Chains A and B, each alone.
Chain A
């Protein structure tokens, strides 16, 4: 059950299964080092973080969700990483463990060189071979929760991970080569011009082979970052303390001001809201991963709360997919009627109103390169009931019942009810099917169990349309004719064009091609884009430099945070 963040499972759960929300990026100035935003806060102190759910996976080979990604950022470092610069409001790609990197002109071979003096928490040096080892671990069947890009991109087809047999004669994945202690080379099976965005994924963090405890590694990953795990009681509490072997000079991503982080799991969002709004002595250095709940939004206008607000947006987009495997929804006119019939302002109010969500017209974020305003249907946010009714007539719809699947959380259900009411208003009969959040997406991914109308959310993995369009609308790489895992509408539009674009190695052409293709695909109304989440956090009065990181699902950025007064 699992609201990784306020708005709950939809997006967060999606992330668990398939996508990430850990990465993204706005500005691919890959290489800009320094420019580190130093918070005004003092060094030291303890920050308490409330989270509804245990992060589940801290093992970098498996860590692929917004909240665990944020915690993981404090413990493990990756080859590159994104830093959100609050002043310029840009997401900057930084070299984290890597001193430098380069690729061949065909973007198929990438070479990374590590910085000097990098050490684990036990003082042993971080080696290139350790990064190779962790990428290999992500091939293992036991580690399937992690980012799929190792399996997808590395040119070592058929490799099953380091735990199977003799690990390919001890050579592992031959496409990854640790040339010496500090140089690692990746040979890819395709051109990936934005591979330096890929290496922000946690699977590109180092794991020392000698300390690997396989699935147990989740409980105590060896720290390469500024904090190490002191104690960790699952579903209860995680305490991070300073890793003295970490050297701030090598790290452009983290300021790491507090001495200690305490994560408390399991308190209900509304309870935490009350505590943070009250700002009692015990909670002045506290914050929550869950944003303010709708019923408490009005309280954020109070004088003593107003100046402790952090508001942000994120890179995720919600939509409702129309499952074209269902005979009824093969009818484009019906899909268009659903598109026009949905009152997205009601839908937004179901998710908490204007402060907590905003209506969008595309699955591609507005500020991303390749975004084009929706101009095919031009449906107003309130919907167009007249047009929807006319289209229903053309479609020959006779009141058949359609099921709308939603995760079983308060906000998700309220939004689904809003969709149901607005469709009923134009004469479409919709029945809500609530599915427990922890297996919502896996249910919808099975052809036999999927509903007719599927609420979903998507966060791109890094700022490239290659992590949006093929994922949401594309085919599955493994089985011909099958839709990709997250192609909930089972739309087949544009697959041939997508295959052509995948062969292209010019980055601009790829992005432009996918942007145009997206517009083409949307003409078939495979989904209706609905909302982007906004986040409102109330934070303790003693916290300093609290910024919400749009790249991590809008969570408060713990890498930049500090406390005003160290008691």
Chain B
């Protein structure tokens, strides 16, 4: 956690601004905001840099999926039966296991990570397209959770009284929900109701929307609690008192005074929410309530592959690794961001 500063920071930018007031560079440092300081710290944090590069790479893969898949020439949903020489890819007499390749994965110069048993779809292409689903759902769910959590947390913290009591109990209720079970039960219901009542076709757009919604809906309470706590302490600070005594309304105080001070907290929890949501999306797809066939998703690849672990372990390894690396990168970056933003961490 404190890696960023463990390598004996130089006094001028390793410490918060107020401590630097007496040093020679004070003038030079004066104008630096917390954001700038944090960014400088992050830049010196090797793990943060590596994580950020990995995340950028993953985002690039998601955005450029169609181009990347053109490299090997196999669309993710295409069933492949024969290789370039006309030899069969799958042994249909043995349940459809891939022929040859590393550990029976069917990997070759054409199919870099092998092919799926039974249908011969290219694992690499599906992995690349699976990135899109994972990231999109996780980011969407995170945004919903952050917006809901911030608004509800600030309202509870700022207004206090019965509003606070009501909203805090709501947070308690949400936090005590067995959310994964609930989501599993809810997702198919919402999807089918969407079709019956609103006439929205039960396609992947709806499914992704539903996934984002449920992840957001069950993810906001934790953040709201933290925001509420921060707001409670912030609203008693002198600058807020001053603004209020000058006649500032709640809108002004919330948006101009509280929100900017909450941003570091929000940033940290956002980066930490994303990997949790990626895992949750994969878990839901694994359990079969995620997006629909044939769209590739890591969770379902893992679910499909788990049946074949004995004859084709690599089929499980690749999506598992992709999920692992992505979640790890987001987690490490989140940790680094927290360390960089937390003044106390610097003294640790």
Which positions in A face B, CB cutoff 8 Å? 270, 293-298, 301, 343, 345-346, 348-350, 352-356, 401, 408, 410, 413-414, 416-418, 420-422, 424, 431-434
Contacts and interface: CB of A to CB of B under 8 A. Distances in A.
Given A354-B93, A355-B94, A421-B79, A431 B203 contact: yes
Nearest to A406: B293
A371 B117 CA distance: 34
Given A408-B288, A421-B79, A432-B293, A298 B118 contact: no
Contacts of A270: 307
Contacts of B171: none
Contacts of A346: 79, 81, 119
B294 A354 contact: no
A431 B311 contact: no
A417 B293 contact: yes
Contacts of A355: 93-95
Main secondary structure of the interface of B (DSSP, over half): loop
A349 B293 contact: no
A352 B119 contact: no
Contact of B94 (A297, A348, A414, A420): A297
Contacts of B117: 294-295
9 contacts: A295-B310, A297-B94, A298-B94, A350-B118, A353-B92, A401-B203, A413-B293, A416-B293, A431-B202
B96 A349 contact: yes
B294 A421 contact: yes
Contacts of B77: 421, 424
A305 B118 CA distance: 23
Contacts of A418: 79, 119
Contacts of B79: 343, 346, 418, 421-422
Contact of B96 (A301, A353, A413): A353
B292 interface: yes
B116 to A, nearest CB: 10
Contacts of A417: 119, 293-294
A432 B201 CA distance: 12
A353 B93 contact: yes
B165 interface: no
A401 B90 CA distance: 30
Contacts of B92: 345, 348-349, 353-354
Interface in B295-335: 307-308, 310-311
Interface in B185-227: 201-203
Contacts of A416: 293
A353 B203 CA distance: 29
Contact of A420 (B91, B96, B288, B294): B294
Contacts of B201: 401, 431
B95 A353 contact: yes
Interface in B64-90: 77-79, 81, 90
Interface residues on B, range: 20 to 34
Contacts of A293: 95, 307
Max count, chain A CB within 10 A of own CB: residue among B93, B201, B293: B293
Max count, chain B CB within 10 A of own CB: residue among A349, A350, A355: A349
B294 A349 contact: no
A418 B293 CA distance: 10
A408 B81 CA distance: 25
Given A294-B96, A346-B81, A410-B307, 8 more contacts: A294-B118, A295-B307, A295-B310, A349-B92, A401-B201, A420-B294, A431-B202, A432-B293
B97 interface: yes
Nearest to A297: B95
B307 A433 contact: no
Contact of A296 (B78, B81, B95): B95
Given A298-B94, A349-B92, A353-B94, A432 B311 contact: no
Nearest to B92: A353
Contacts of A434: 288, 292
A306 to B, nearest CB: 13
Q: Which 8 A-B pairs have the closest CB atoms?
A: A297-B95, A294-B95, A353-B92, A298-B94, A353-B96, A295-B307, A421-B79, A295-B308
Interface string B115-157: 0011100000000000000000000000000000000000000
Max count, chain B CB within 10 A of own CB: residue among A353, A354, A410, A413: A353
A421 B74 CA distance: 13
A190 B14 CA distance: 96
Contact of A421 (B78, B91, B93, B96): B78
Contacts of B310: 295
Nearest to B294: A417
A410 B203 CA distance: 20
A434 to B, nearest CB: 8
B95 A298 contact: yes
Contacts of A350: 118-119
A354 B292 CA distance: 27
Nearest to B288: A408
Contacts of B118: 294, 349-350, 352-353, 414
B287 to A, nearest CB: 12
Contacts of B81: 346
B97 A298 contact: yes
B4 to A, nearest CB: 47
A422 B121 CA distance: 13
B205 to A, nearest CB: 12
Max count, chain B CB within 10 A of own CB: residue among A295, A420, A432: A295
Contacts of B94: 297-298, 301, 353, 355
B95 A356 contact: yes
B292 A432 contact: yes
Nearest to B78: A421
Given A294-B95, A297-B95, A353-B94, A420 B311 contact: no
Contacts of B96: 294, 349, 352-353
A303 to B, nearest CB: 16
Contacts of B203: 401, 431
Contacts of B288: 408, 434
B95 A352 contact: yes
A298 B95 CA distance: 7
B302 to A, nearest CB: 14
A280 B292 CA distance: 40
A343 B78 CA distance: 13
B119 A298 contact: no
Nearest to A356: B95
Contacts of B202: 431, 433
A424 B161 CA distance: 59
A355 B203 CA distance: 34
Contacts of A421: 77-79, 119, 294
Contacts of A424: 77
A350 B116 CA distance: 11
A345 B96 CA distance: 11
Nearest to B90: A349
Contacts of B97: 295, 298
Contacts of A401: 201, 203
A148 B94 CA distance: 40
Nearest to A348: B92
B293 A420 contact: yes
Contacts of B93: 353-355
Contacts of A432: 292-294
A356 B118 CA distance: 12
Contacts of A295: 95, 97, 117, 307-308, 310-311
A139 B293 CA distance: 42
A354 B293 CA distance: 23
B130 to A, nearest CB: 15
Nearest to B77: A421
Given A352-B95, A353-B93, A417-B293, A298 B311 contact: yes
Contacts of A431: 201-203, 292
